[in-house]
Chain A
Amino acid sequence: MTAADGTVPTSMRREGDYLVIDWSDGTIARLSWKMLRDACPCAGCREERDKPADPFRILKPQELVPLAPVAMPKVGRYAYKIVWSDGHDAGIFTLEHLRELSRRTTGELS
């Protein structure tokens, strides 16, 4: 999948708390890892997001440690997977999804 507008990333790198994507149309996006984790498209995270917030939720010890990405392998020619420091790696970030998040950071999408 190219993103719906036909763009593809030409380079991607971690810069501290951000993933920086250079897109083929010349735009550069800086996506925070927190934003990416919050937008994880896996079924488990989606379900979690759709639930009403639990006011009595007790955080697990691993949730107290700041999350960090440990790897971001390619999935075929259409997506990336983020492997997080807590072991979560189920989300497949398609180029379309990354593009949409990029556009959100540049204010093209609200």
Chain B
Amino acid sequence: MPPPQGPPRIELPGVGHVLAVASGKGGVGKSTVAANLALALAGQGAKVGLMDADIYGPSVPIMMGVPCPIDQNVTPLPLEKFGLKLMSIGFVVPPEKAVIWRGPMVDRALRQFLDGLQWAPLDYLVLDLPPGTGDAQLTLSQHTRLTGAIIVTTPQDVSLVDARKGVEMFHEVRVPVLGIVENMSYFVGDDGKRYEIFRHGGGKKLATAVGVPFLGDLPIDPRVAECGDQGEPIVHRYPDSPVAQAYFKLASTVVTELAKRPNEQELPDVVM
């Protein structure tokens, strides 16, 4: 009898880069960043997928305007919208129903999303992670080939403290941190003045402190929330807005960071 080996690693052939959008803290705009970054990358002509790895609080269905649950006989998964391939637990579970699962079920669902769906061909698969450093993060770093993680924070200390934990977790599991993004960084009023509502610069300071690149800051625009709730991210609806332009710049920075990094060294197999 062959020895037990545990679940095999998910290789995702035909998928170029697997990018995790993460943070330590909830409510910093991870899903908004993941959705708009995915669209900005697609705007550069890349083939992009967006996978919602937040099993307990999926956001992709609302942000992408997908009425749920979908009929899989009519709409195969991953479904396509705005030029992206999309997957979320929210597509198959009615929106009012809570997913009450322990870790192993989350692990199984995520592996099924990655392994059981036809993602290829893709240049980028963006994973929208839940907050924290728990089951989803561990499953993805253990079973997939994550190219890099993008850590989202807001400027306040309360968010930065947790963002730092997120960076530390990815360092520990040897997933390269591509950098830190400061979301809700500032607001430009009708008077043309810049207001730093939640303070400013914390993301850059944290990036320097932990030795990872600072990928950029994203301004506040009430239309971001409005677009998210209406199911059409701002990069798609208002591509000329300053926020959308900041996302296009972020996408270019991410591509540049990826180009700088050779593939992270794989561990050797143990010859038994």
Spell out A's residues near B (CB within 8 Å). Answer: 1-2, 8-14, 19, 69-78, 80-81, 83, 87, 89, 94-95
> Which range holds the interface residue count of chain B?
20 to 34
Assuming the contacts A9-B267, A12-B268, A14-B271, asked whether A75 and B3 have C-beta atoms less than 8 A apart, the reply is no
Contacting residue for A13 out of B3, B171, B173, B270, CB 8 A: B270
Closest CB of chain A to B244's CB: distance in Å?
Answer: 34
Say whether B4 contacts A83, CB under 8 Å: yes
Given A11-B268, A77-B173, A78-B141, does the pair A83, B9 have CB atoms closer than 8 Å? no
Q: Is B174 touching A77 in the complex (CB atoms < 8 A)? A: yes
Q: Is the CB of A83 within 8 A of B3?
A: yes
Residue B222 CB within 8 A of the other chain: no
B272: A residues at CB distance < 8 A: 13-14, 69-72
13 A–B contacts, CB within 8 A, in A order: A9-B268, A10-B268, A11-B271, A12-B269, A14-B270, A14-B272, A69-B272, A74-B9, A76-B142, A77-B264, A77-B266, A78-B174, A94-B172
Nearest-neighbour CB distance to chain B for A6, whole angstroms, equals 11
List residues of chain A with CB within 8 A of the CB of B6. Answer: 73, 81, 83, 89
- When distances are taken between beta carbons in the complex, the residues of chain A under 8 Å from B265 are 8, 77
A4 to chain B minimum Cβ distance, whole angstroms, is: 10
CB distance from A33 to the nearest CB of B (A): 11
* Contact in complex: B270, A1 (CB < 8 Å): no
B165 CB to nearest A CB, Å: 15
How far does the alpha carbon of A75 sit from the alpha carbon of B266 in the complex, in Å? 11
Bound state CA distance, A83 and B141, in angstroms?
A: 20
Taking CB atoms, residues of chain B closer than 8 Å to A76 are: 141-143, 173-175
